[in-house]
Structure 1
């Protein structure tokens, strides 16, 4: 039996310009769901993340989810998903990099299995999956109780070594040929994932990741809208 080929691709700053959670927080502020102070906190944390100055990303992600829970905890999952969908259609979809979309669609036609692997929340990642019409989502699960999102994370946040833990199970189960597979990311936290495949590619890399990419002769791509 021939082994499968896969593409493990981050979402934020790799498929789309910016952070999907950050875009969601700003959207909620514009819709007057959130206070300005919460928006500024979110932007500040995102800046620290891009500058590689955050050591405990899990805590920051949890804080952003707590912000979102100010909204999602008050209305049903169905109503929240409608908000997420409108945010995706109006704010996130226009930020998809054309180069990334073209590569993914061509790769899918050529038989690659596409894994959207991201620290963002699963409902947002699934909207991207639906847009493409293919792929498998591996993202951060949020807790749902009695038809409401609680804002709490269900299991570990899909970040750093946790991404590697998740995809290790995937490639063993699906008989994936890592040497023929690709991984895409913009951030140094995904170095463990990039190290595992035959074709690691960094997109709009952070400073530290760019240094690693140059050292290891990884391909560097710079996408723009």
Structure 2
């Protein structure tokens, strides 16, 4: 049943969608065979992707690559980008707009096959993402691997592209937003919600139960205050290229802080770019919602 357009979703429904998204992401998480029996089986590290592992928003780079392959029009994505930028700048988001964007997220792949997106995702990683990986964050991930610990990416990006990034970086696997598909063909709907904020902590919790992880012995890395639920649930949280709110919180809590942006000017620019990238990510969801309604 479609929710009323004049009321935001109840908090209980949002929590249940986050839980469902987290459980779906954990169930879809890949584990490399070589690490099925890790030297340190109860410890792991969890990395956010956007502005933590790589510069910019991965879903934006994915959408741009798909746009070049005629998945949706320039008019659709620019119109949606304006809406998202406006809402973020004035600090107000219409609950109906957010709900519609969520319902339409990844709608641009409706009717396409999983195999098709995975193949194109490999191409888009090579052309738009590989050179954006932060070497410092990559080195941190490698340190965990060298200790015999498993390393997962945890991102709002589609699980297909998240898995490609993890595989290319030699990591254990990834948890990302799960798009519903039937017989290998996408329906345009999500399983639960996007893997964002509380949904990430639900995914980690489900994976920890499945893999026998001790969260107190685990590490988590992110650039965003929105990932506080994920960072707060492990024993070793670390802020990477943090936004202002996360930096302040990390300092207050005595958490590790790593900033791989060079020079003060670049750091300030990085914070701005992070905000724009976030708007772009939301724009993708809104743009695809428009496309879904027009079909």
TM-score by length of structure 2 reads 0.65
Q: Structure 1: where are the runs of 5+ without partners?
A: none
Which of 47, 59, 62 is residue 9 of structure 1 equivalent to?
47
Displacement after TM superposition at 1:167 (Å): 1.4
Query: How many residues were matched structurally?
Result: 220
Q: Does 2:112 correspond to 1:65? A: no
Displacement after TM superposition at 1:137 (Å): 1.7
* Structure with more of its chain in helix, by fraction: 2
- Contact 2:157 2:176 (8 Å CA) reproduced: yes
Residue matched to 1:178:
215
1:156 alignment partner, SS class: coil
Which of 223, 240, 244 is residue 203 of structure 1 equivalent to?
240
Q: Structure 2: where are the runs of 5+ without partners?
A: 1-39, 263-295
Query: Partners in 2 of 1:52 and 1:195 — Cα distance?
Result: 28
Residue matched to 1:118:
155
Specify whether residues 4 and 65 from structure 1 end up closer, same or farther in structure 2 by C-alpha distance, changes over 3 A only.
same
Query: Partners in 1 of 2:99 and 2:59 — Cα distance?
Result: 14
Residue matched to 1:96:
133
* Structure with more of its chain in strand, by fraction: 1
Which of 238, 250, 254 is residue 213 of structure 1 equivalent to?
250
Q: Does 2:144 correspond to 1:107? A: yes
* More RCO (CA 8 Å, sep 6+): 2
Q: Does 2:184 correspond to 1:144? A: no
Q: Once superposed, what is the RMSD of the aligned Cα atoms?
A: 2.8
Specify whether residues 115 and 89 from structure 1 end up closer, same or farther in structure 2 by C-alpha distance, changes over 3 A only.
same
Query: Partners in 1 of 2:127 and 2:222 — Cα distance?
Result: 24
2:140 alignment partner, SS class: helix
- Contact 2:152 2:166 (8 Å CA) reproduced: no
Higher mean alpha-carbon deviation, 124-133 vs 177-186, is at 177-186
TM-score by length of structure 1 reads 0.84
Query: Partners in 1 of 2:176 and 2:158 — Cα distance?
Result: 6
